[in-house]
Amino acid sequence: MEMLGVPFALVWVVLGLSCILAGKVNKHKPWIETSYHGVITENMDTVLLDPPLVALDKDAPVPYAGEICAFKIHGQEAPFEAVVLNRTSGEGVLRAKGPVDCETQKEYTFIIQAYDCGAEASGASWKKSHKAVVHIQVDDVNEFSPVFREPMYHASAMEGKIYDSILQVEAWDQDCSPQYSQICNYDIVTSDTPFAIDRNGNIRNTERLSYDKKQRYKVMVTAFDCGQKRATESVAVHIDVKPVCKPGWQGWNKQVDYEPGTGSKQLFPKMHLETCDGPLSAVRAMVELQTSHIGKGCDRETYSEKSMQKLCGAASGSTDLLPAPSVSTNWTASLLTDSGRDSDLIFNFDGRQAANVPERVVPQNLTDQFTIATWMKHGPSPGLRAEKETLLCNSDKTEMNRHHYSLYVHNCRLVFLLRRDFTQVDTFRPAEFHWKLEQICDKEWHYYVINVEFPAVTLFVDGVTYEPYLVTDDWPIHPSSIDTQLTVGACWQGGEVSTPRFTQFFRGSLSGLTIRPGRIETQKVISCLQACKEGLDIHSLESLGKDIKFHFNPAQSVLVMEGEDLESVNTAMAKVSYINSRQFPTAGLRQLHITTTVQCFGEDICISIPDIKALVMVLPPSEPRITIAGSDQLVRPAADLRGAMGVAPFKELRITSTVTKGDGVPFSAVYRPGVLEAMHNLDYCDVLVIGEELNPEQESLEIHHSSLMGKHLDATNSTSGISIYGVDSMAHYEEALRQVRYRNWRPATLTNRRFRLTCSELNGRYTSNEFNLEVSLVHNTAPVEHVNHMAVQSQYMRSVHHPLMVHSVNSHISGTPPAATVVVVICIAALVCIVVLGIYRLHSTHQDSSKSEEDGAKEPEMDWDDSTLTITVNPMENVGEPQTVEVNEEEEDDEEEDEQAGDITSAESDDSDETEEEEEDEREVKESKPKSKLEWDSSSITY
């Protein structure tokens, strides 16, 4: 058993080891390259791979496990297959499953993997390699011939001219590769022709053609690809010889007159383009209106900057730092202005002028959000080392030389400096903002707006946004008690020098320099403020053909039109118009420049069109004559001036404007000269005090804010008068001026006040007449001692209209002023005493009422309506008895003025004023002293 047992155990060990080795025999994966590049010629089936397709397995030479059984391709419909050539060496090959066409697809990319044969003959447990990428390029075969894009070509050539290219022919090839698809050469097949063709297909004439010798040529042209394969069919080129022709615009006038107010006027109604029958493919015409010499670059509104801001919907609160010189804005009086620019309020700075802005005008509430805006025209500074040129500067007035904020130009760069008093944070903050723009030194007008939203600062130039290219930081300015000085045109240096002076002068032109504290300006308002009022237009736009493309620049000074059809282009050019929407535009010449390019087939410029230079003459507008009319004399009781409403000097004011039309100008649908009333806007009306200025302690000239509601108007007043300004209609100005009130609460010593009213359109371009008005005051004189009798009543009493005079005894209490009532009661009491005492004239019939002393002091102009109420005094009364009451002259004057204020002008006084006057009159009567004797004037009494 032992002999037998030993071999038996050995067998079992061998079998066990065999099983273990069998389980681990296929322990490695096949290995292939990570990528392959292959080339296959179209219509062939074998792919040339680099590197060759070979798979290796570390299990070799173990059967099956070390052998390669397959290559598998993974890809979307890849038309290839991989075949194993030798299982032991792992060699393989790629073949096309079918025909491969380069014109269909030039390249293929897919994934390939190798598989070994597994652990045993059955092929179980195959292992696969990693994925490798295969790129295959399909090589082209020159199988296609060139083909011309057009079946036939037509061209024309002017006689006597040598062309670089009369026309261009073009062929193409369907082959996929550059070698066989590109056209490398063209050739003229027809012999003995005066033409040649280059490798790009351009046909030119080799000699000058003659229309008389031959009018048309037929030339056959063939093409070759870069594989020297010739076109199957040649193409025919027909070339017509044209007689000498001068291409260009015809039928236009060198000058076009434009009458203001006529809307849009066609510039070239009969103009057409002569191309000498050339085969055009496109025409491009550019019409440019040149207006750089007009005002601020074109015909813009010349209203004040503040008025323009209101018209454009800007927020209120802006400060105009360069206003028109006037009594209240005299700091710009010393500056140079350009009077020839149609009242554009242009200030010219030549490096020697500057202005200090008064402290009362300087915005005091600048926050982290504000706007600075101005028009500027500036050119390069002379010299290599240019100095700073300051537009606006806020610096220390004395002691030091700190610049708090400023706007200046330096080496054609615009710089804005902002150093605020940061009391809470003492750190570096953005302080200087730099912009480098061509517009700053191009000697043209541009509109600059700086919106500050600290620490961000944005610049708008003609409505386009520009961010600063450089921002530098600086320390904040420490707060101090030093006053600052705001200047325009230079910077004030009040410290660190022996004599305070201006420095860093500006050289250029400015207009409309404003600051708006507390908020920034919107894009819409900025665009409105710099908008042009004149420009090019297309008359009857809807009638343009759809094949015409046109484009305006934002200012509508440049119009570009493109079209493929010559007739459509001619129709479109005839509709180009000039328009000026200003009611009173700037007269003068505007230049027109038209450039035209004509393209033939092949996009070459085949016809040269001469440029056109024409002129638009804007005729002088019919100047309006603004007339202010109304009563130039106003007589009012002095008491009226003390009322809460005062008096309205211009209550009957009327403003009209007329224009004179000459011969040949339409007027009221009839061609005749005449005068036409024109409705237009005004921009300010000034009421000036003639003589001594107003004393603010006792008088005022004012207008209530409610009178300006719903209008584009504002008002300012001073001791010199009142100014109403803003662009608005004459009717609104009339309404506002009629609400102007003059008050004087101490008019005792005043006899009259004189005022002068003038109105303006377009900042003084058109001004009205000077309307002078005198307000005369009626004062109550001292009491006149006289006898008033029925027989002579007409000599001392005159009838006047008295709105509060009553016509019945019962209405005395409510209708008669309290002072008069008291006087009447006292007089009746005196008469009763006379009856009781029985002294003098017992035969006389006493009247129910008597005339008070106050009536004797009435002015001759103040008549009473005595149609139903007659008050008489008996001249035979005993005047020696002390029952008559007298008030002193001053108290009586006040009493009479109060009575007039309560009666005659009650419609202009409120209830509270009446109540106060009544109480005052009652007190005066109670406190008055008796007079010992009344003296009667009996010189004119008749019995």
CA separation for the pair 393, 416 (Å, rounded): 10
Q: Is the pLDDT of residue 743 over 80?
A: yes
Structure confidence by residue, pLDDT tens digits, 377-387? 998 877 656 78
Q: Reply yes or no: is the peptide bond before residue 51 cis, omega within 30 of 0.
A: yes
Least confident of 190-204, 313-327, 766-780: 313-327
Burial of 608 per CB tally in 10 Å (0-12, 13-18, 19+): exposed
Cα 48-50-56 angle, rounded to 5 deg = 110
Task: Tell the CATH topology of 305-530.
Answer: Jelly Rolls (2.60.120)
HEC assignment per residue over 821-848: HHHHHHHHHHHHHHHHHCCCCCCCCCCC
What digits encode the pLDDT tens for the residues 845-899?
A: 333 333 333 333 333 333 334 433 333 444 344 433 444 334 344 444 444 444 4
* Percentage of the chain exceeding pLDDT 90: 24
The predicted structure's pLDDT at residue 603? 59
Q: Residue 796 — very low, low, confident or very high, per pLDDT cuts 50/70/90? A: very low
Cis peptide before 455 (omega within 30 of 0): yes
Q: How far is CA 580 from CA 298, 572, 587, 621, in A?
A: 10, 20, 11, 12
Longest Cα–Cα distance in the chain: 197
pLDDT digits (tens, 9 = 90+) for 206-248: 999 988 889 899 999 999 988 888 898 999 999 999 877 778 8
Q: With CA atoms as reference, report the closest residue to 705 among 687, 722, 730, 681.
A: 722
Q: In this predicted structure, what is the pLDDT of residue 489?
A: 93
Confidence label for 831 from pLDDT (cuts 50, 70 and 90): low
Does the pLDDT at position 338 exceed 80?
no
Q: Are 354 and 490 in contact (CB under 8 A)?
A: yes
**Architecture, CATH, for domain 248-292+536-618:** Sandwich (2.60)
What tokens does 844 get?
A: 């006389």
CATH class, range 30-139: mainly beta
pLDDT category at 487 given cuts 50, 70, 90 is: very high
pLDDT tens-digit readout, 145-175: 899 999 999 998 888 889 999 999 999 888 8
Q: pTM of the full predicted structure?
A: 0.52
d(CA 324, CA 60): 105
3-state secondary structure of 223: strand
The one-letter code for the residue type at 3 is: M
pLDDT of residue 901 exceeding 70, the answer is: no
Q: Which is more confidently placed, 243 or 1?
A: 243
pLDDT band, very low/low/confident/very high, at 541 (cuts 50, 70, 90) = low
Q: pLDDT tens across 569-608, in order?
A: 888 898 899 999 888 888 889 999 999 988 877 656 677 8
Is the domain spanning 147-242 CATH 3.30.360.30? The answer is no
How would you classify the pairing of strands 576-580 and 588-600? unpaired
The architecture in CATH of the region 626-660+679-778 reads Sandwich (2.60)
Q: What is the model's pLDDT at position 761?
A: 87
Residue 337 has pLDDT above 90, yes or no: no
Confidence of residue 611 (pLDDT cuts 50, 70, 90): very high
DSSP state of 672: S
Residue 286: per-residue pLDDT: 93
Q: Which has more confidence, 308 or 847?
A: 308
Domain residue spans in the chain? 30-139, 147-242, 248-292+536-618, 305-530, 626-660+679-778
Question: Alpha-carbon distance 509 to 647, whole Å?
Answer: 45
Q: CATH topology of 305-530 equal to that of 626-660+679-778?
A: no
Q: Is the pLDDT of residue 776 over 80?
A: yes
Query: Which of 810, 809, 747 is closest to 779 using CA atoms?
Result: 747
Q: Are residues 297 and 533 in contact, defined by beta-carbon separation less than 8 angstroms?
A: no
Segment 252-298, tens digit of pLDDT: 999 999 998 888 899 999 999 888 777 778 889 999 998 877 777 78
What pLDDT is attached to residue 898?
43
Residue 815 has pLDDT above 80, yes or no: no
